Homo-oligomer: A and B are copies of this chain.
Amino acid sequence: MIERLAILGVGLIGGSLALSLKQQGLVKQVVGYGRSKANLAEALALGIIDEAVESASEAARNADMVVMAVPIASMRGLLAEIQPVLSATAVLTDVGSAKSCWIEDVLSVWQGVWPENAVPAHPIAGAEKSGAAAAMADLYVGRKVVITPHEQTGASALAKVTQMWQATGADVRCMSAEEHDQTFAWTSHLPHLLSFALVDMFSQRQDVERLFDYTAGGFRDFTRIAASDPTMWRDIVALNAPAIAEALSDYQQQLQTYANLLEQQDWQGLSDAFARAKATRDALLPTESR
């Protein structure tokens, strides 16, 4: 049971967590902080939080669980605000899409000594909609949550965060922050970059409207992630830059291989490449959960 849950950033991710825990009676009181007063008022009206406060430190004070669900570039500033008021027994966790950077932020604020109750975590859940109004109690059912404990993270705090996410219906996994950041550079950050790049290239053409007029479902799906929030993605790329640069470089080599096949008119080679891709996707993503 969580006595007082502080949600810093009551959007889709933080709000859905609060709703899920409340629905199951696993939290007594939820206090929310966020930059937008209108969003906080909505969270209050929707029963996502019980109390809205005007500062992160007010939210974190007396909380036994603090969940940081703000953009990853805002983490360090908020950590510095709450560090002085955080109780020694409070568990501190986050939901950021890149993990090494949060660890660096915490270490920076705690002057190099990792607090044993700090637990880096990343729920893998869509962010097409945002704000408290988009929150859903069942958002995490069947979704993965990756926890990347620091070596100084204590077993008790790790267990509390694990149990909290499992209670939402999530499939909780553990790995190192480095492994997390490399994995998601490939599976999420690179595809976003590639999708942005295609639409960005279209946008710089004079015939962009005409081109879009002749797009169909395949293009729509391929570029759906290019409608993601540019600032959020700039931050993710900036804060996981080395892993993403490596994945991008590998992909550039892959494209050069295809360009060579085209130039050499090696249609068998191209057909083999396409068949390899299709076989892999069919085997590993067998059902279309669209």
* A278:B191 contact, CB within 8 angstroms: no
Contact with B along A188-203 (1 / 0, CB 8 A): 1011111111111111
* B258:A193 contact, CB within 8 angstroms: yes
Q: Which residues from chain B contact A217 at a C-beta distance below 8 Å?
A: 126, 289
Whether, in the assembled complex, A111 has its beta carbon less than 8 Å from a beta carbon of chain B, the answer is no
Whether, in the assembled complex, A230 has its beta carbon less than 8 Å from a beta carbon of chain B, the answer is yes
* B194:A126 contact, CB within 8 angstroms: no
Interface on chain A toward B: helix, strand, loop, or mixed SS? helix
Whether, in the assembled complex, A146 has its beta carbon less than 8 Å from a beta carbon of chain B, the answer is yes
User: Nearest residue in B to A290 (C-beta to C-beta)?
Assistant: B290
Whether, in the assembled complex, A35 has its beta carbon less than 8 Å from a beta carbon of chain B, the answer is no
Chain A interface extent, by class: 35 or more
Whether, in the assembled complex, A265 has its beta carbon less than 8 Å from a beta carbon of chain B, the answer is yes
Tell which of B184, B267, B277 touches A238, judged by Cβ atoms closer than 8 Å.
B267
Q: Which residues from chain B contact A183 at a C-beta distance below 8 Å?
A: 210-211, 214
* B267:A203 contact, CB within 8 angstroms: no
* B224:A221 contact, CB within 8 angstroms: yes
Whether, in the assembled complex, A284 has its beta carbon less than 8 Å from a beta carbon of chain B, the answer is yes
Whether, in the assembled complex, A90 has its beta carbon less than 8 Å from a beta carbon of chain B, the answer is no
Tell which of B218, B224, B278 touches A230, judged by Cβ atoms closer than 8 Å.
B278
Interface hub of A124, A224, A249, A250 (most chain B Cβ within 10 A): A224
In the assembled complex, the Cα of A229 lies from the Cα of B271 at a distance in Å of: 10
How far, in Å, is A146 (CB) from chain B's closest CB? 7
* A245:B263 contact, CB within 8 angstroms: yes
* B245:A278 contact, CB within 8 angstroms: no
Q: Which residues from chain B contact A234 at a C-beta distance below 8 Å?
A: 267, 270-271, 274
Whether, in the assembled complex, A151 has its beta carbon less than 8 Å from a beta carbon of chain B, the answer is no
* B187:A215 contact, CB within 8 angstroms: yes
Contact with B along A43-64 (1 / 0, CB 8 A): 0000000000000000000000
* B146:A277 contact, CB within 8 angstroms: no
How far, in Å, is A215 (CB) from chain B's closest CB? 5
User: Nearest residue in B to A287 (C-beta to C-beta)?
Assistant: B220
In the assembled complex, the Cα of A233 lies from the Cα of B231 at a distance in Å of: 35
* A196:B230 contact, CB within 8 angstroms: no
Contact with B along A240-273 (1 / 0, CB 8 A): 0100110011111011101100110101001101
Binding site for B on A (CB under 8 A): 124-126, 143-144, 146, 183-184, 186-188, 190-204, 208-212, 214-231, 233-234, 237-238, 241, 244-245, 248-252, 254-256, 258-259, 262-263, 265, 267, 270-271, 273-282, 284-285, 288-290
